[in-house]
Structure 1
Amino acid sequence: MTWLVKVALDRPYTFIVMALMILIFGPLAAVKTPTDIFPNIGIPVIGVAFTYSGLSPDDMASRIMTPYERILSTTVNDVEHVESQSMPGIGIAKIYFQPNVDIRLASAQVTSISQSAIRQMPPGIQPPLILNYSASTVPVLQMAFSSTSLSEQQVLDYSQNFARPRLTTVNGAAIPYSYGGKFRSVLIDLDPQAMQARGLSSIDVQNAFVAQNQIVPAGNIKIGDFQYVVLLNNAADTIEAMNELPVKTVGGGTVFMRDVAHVRDGNSVQQNIVHVDGSRAVLSTVLKNGQTSTLDVVQGIKDLLPLLREQLPPELKIDILSDQSLFVKAAVDGVMHEGAIAAGLTSLMILLFLGSWR
């Protein structure tokens, strides 16, 4: 180490410049260092979700998930292993790839083979939902939408169709579907006795309803110097009009929807309920997506909330339930505090050993 002391004494300005560079670039590096809950975890995983209403878990596993796994193992490159889970009406497959795989090429292969695989599955199955999974995509903020005067259906409607599209404009924010509330649906309550008396089944009612609620493009028509787009709007615009739809002709008479069923504006079966302070509410979760830090995502959401509250009804409350950025800020403050203490103690020890400020 004597040579280092000799160089420092012979070339003092070199070490002064090095010290100044540390003082300048050190804080810059600290400011630009990513601050997040977890580091960027590059595990290449793709999730595929199949839905088939009414199918049991055993049938979902044997008729859909097992054949799909076999197709993946023979047509998609660089697959490490596949995990699948079968539930009533839902099947989820997680496809794990080798570490150095091109995830864009893998996603394209999975998408193309999934569209081909549904032709070999039971008829009526819907195209699967394909998502690129990232381990660093974690919940960073939870918000509750509640109201004492609005119904659960209205609260969910404002949260899902008004607030969610605006919050997703924040860079790095991903907002899945909300929890709680009642999803608005048009329901048809069938009258079994009336249907049996007229020789009709639920399929007849369904076919009549679908056939008479369509918007079909009929083509273009040119009149003089103008060309018009012609549409055939066959969709009922009110609940009362739906009750007047003809279902079938039986015995020379027309059977209307009101004769065998009742169409009403209601909600689908509620699958989950959220309580906040003992009252019904709708829970919305904000996920961090991409390379954006947790602090930037949370701050962007908080900056947008005042504008959102102005556009929503005043009786609708938006409360923040959990904020992961507080943990990140506390961790950063702790690191800075410990770093300042370490720098101070190191300087003090050097001063004690040297015995001079010079």
Structure 2
Amino acid sequence: MTSITRLALGRPAVVFLATLLLIVIGVFAVFRLKTELFPDIDLPVVTVATTYPGASPDAVLQDVTIPVENAVASVSDLKELHSISTENLSVVTAEFDYGTNMERVEEEIAASVNNLVLPAGANQPTVDRFDWSDFPVIFYGLLGDRDVSELETIARRDVLPVVEQVDGVARVAIEGSAAQQVLVTLNPQALAEYGLTTQQVVTALQENNVSRPSGIIFDNVGRVLPVRTTSRYTSLEDIASLAVGSSEAASPLLLKDIGQVAMATDPFASISRTDGQRSLAISVLKEADANTVEVANNVQDKVSQISLPAGVELRTHFDQSDYIEESINALLREGALGFLFAVIIIYLFLTGLRTTLVTAISIPLSIIIALIVLAWQGITLNIITMAGLTVAIGRVVDDSIVVLENIYRH
């Protein structure tokens, strides 16, 4: 016999107290476990996306993609770099080895690309890395016998304030709304009178709404911090008061002297449909350290209390907590069935109450120990860990029967 077996047989009281202690710790561990749909995997991939409106794929490649690739290539620990250049868009993907400090890599890439001087019209590159917490926990659809602008007003007035106040909610996004844009309407007669062209006005608008790198500085811990010079429009009056030229009659010549500036609906905004009907898509994203099931259930409770106008409906299209709770229920069901059948078979064939109790205790105790380890290591209950526990239950049942049968025989 091994030392563990001798200890268990020689000190049954100690074993009994240790078992009770494990059960108590297991109960606390269960309440500490976070439940998620997917495991927390830090993928070693960083993407740099840059929009260049109106540019062809070749122009995007030469003017944006290649400079971004050169900037990213200087980052340490880079494994592979590939890119896609399409009309209006450049996407550069950098891959690293697993175990790389991705926060440090993301900061290095952001510092590198922020110092690039891109052509006029190209937007600032967006550096991002994949995170499961960026996947919405709930998708809603707001629809009714109203136009989209009215639905958006209802969503922002009645739905968003309620959902955003729920603990664990990071942000709430709306898709399919009538997005607003600034519309500048030029007067052809005024342009001809002052000798201006449309391109001159466009150039003036672009050159006075800029964000360009001005160099770098080092902080007290040696990190590189990019410095940018920015000049942004903050109101319609800023745009209308922009000097676009000069003349003897009006010096300087302002944009409002040759046209009008107003807010208008963007005709290229995203479109959301539910059952063939125009609607608004509302997605709820949780904080990275929040419990998916808890956040989703709290959001659903708050949404059920919202009083919407007649004819307007808020439908749930997707809820992560449903899949998680279904997986947990399946795990409990399979575990209970395995436990029940193992106890019945052992009792029928070995006809001993003590041997039956050994199996009845070992199966749930094994699961409790596994949950303690998960909580200790900060691992969540997700589709991967729950699938593993389901398989493990079958192995525990099988091992219990085999061991007890051999004990009974010898």
- TM-score, normalised to structure 2, is 0.65
| Cα contact 1:153–1:267 (8 A) shared by 2 | no
Match of residue 329 from structure 1: 325
Distance 2:120 2:203 in 1: 18
* 1:333 Cα offset (Å): 0.4
Match of residue 105 from structure 2: 106
State the SS of the aligned residue for 2:85.
strand
Letter in 1 for 2:282: S
Distance 2:47 2:324 in 1: 29
Task: Name the one with the larger helix percent.
Answer: 2
RMSD: 4.2
Stretch deviating more after TM superposition (322-331 or 32-41): 32-41
Distance 1:22 1:183 in 2: 57
Distance 1:24 1:277, change over 3 A: same
State the SS of the aligned residue for 2:353.
coil
| Cα contact 1:84–1:92 (8 A) shared by 2 | yes
* 1:160 Cα offset (Å): 6.6
State the SS of the aligned residue for 2:343.
helix
State the SS of the aligned residue for 1:139.
coil
Letter in 2 for 1:341: L
* 1:81 Cα offset (Å): 1.6
Q: Percent identity at matched positions?
A: 24
Distance 1:266 1:8, change over 3 A: closer
After superposition, the C-alpha distances for 1:86-145 in whole angstroms (9 at most, x for unaligned) are 2332222222222122222212211211111x22x3244332222232256433211123
Distance 1:96 1:35, change over 3 A: same
* 1:337 Cα offset (Å): 1.0
Residue correspondence of structure 1 range 1-358 to structure 2 within 5 A: 10-73=10-73, 75-116=74-115, 118-119=116-117, 121-135=118-132, 137-149=134-146, 151-156=147-152, 159=155, 167=163, 170=166, 173-175=169-171, 177-192=173-188, 195-196=191-192, 199-203=195-199, 205=201, 252=249, 261-288=259-286, 290-305=288-303, 309=306, 317-358=313-354
* 1:15 Cα offset (Å): 3.8
Distance 1:260 1:147, change over 3 A: farther
Distance 2:123 2:265 in 1: 22
Distance 1:236 1:82, change over 3 A: closer
| Cα contact 1:43–1:135 (8 A) shared by 2 | no
The gaps in structure 2 that reach 5 residues or longer are 210-233, 355-410
The gaps in structure 1 that reach 5 residues or longer are 214-233
| Cα contact 1:175–1:284 (8 A) shared by 2 | no
State the SS of the aligned residue for 1:182.
coil
- TM-score, normalised to structure 1, is 0.73
State the SS of the aligned residue for 2:46.
strand
Distance 1:266 1:9, change over 3 A: closer
Stretch deviating more after TM superposition (7-16 or 156-165): 156-165
Distance 1:94 1:152, change over 3 A: same
What is the total number of aligned residue pairs between the two structures?
Answer: 329
* 1:176 Cα offset (Å): 7.0
Distance 1:212 1:326 in 2: 50
